[in-house]
Amino acid sequence: MANKTVEKISPDTFWDEINAINNKAKDAAIDLLNKQGDNRYIVVMDWEDYYTEYYTDQAAISVSVFGVGLNEDNNLCIAATVDNQGYGCSKNDFEQDWVEVSELFRPCYALLYRFVANNIDKAVT
């Protein structure tokens, strides 16, 4: 059997590549939402999904309302509530809870892109 050479990359190069993927996912999510015109928000009731936090095992998350949208500056925003606030399934029903994703500690745009792509048919004004 032939020896296989494994190319090593520096930690900085690794993080640069991860950040490039994250930025592509962010741009793709923004692009999908922009194509909706005025319907730039996706609000899902009783949403349950799986996510992986950095350095932890896979866990389930379940919230009453989860939303992803674009604010007036075309920045990605999210909202999540664990009660019935926002039951009307509109961004205005829980407007005070929208937070720019860039304000999160470690935003994972790849997961947000997946959510947007999987739920784009649920876009609302």
> Is residue 116 within 8 Å of residue 32, measured between CB atoms?
yes
Separation of alpha carbons 87 and 55, rounded Å: 33
In the chain, the percentage of residues whose pLDDT exceeds 90 is 22
pLDDT(17) > 50: yes
Strand order of the β-sheet with 99-100 is 99-100, 76-81, 58-70, 41-52, 123-124
pTM of the entire structure? 0.70
- Read off the pLDDT of residues 81-122 as tens digits, 9 standing for 90 and up: 655 444 454 545 555 567 888 888 888 898 889 989 998 888
Sign of the CA dihedral with 64 first, then 44, 67, and 124 last: negative
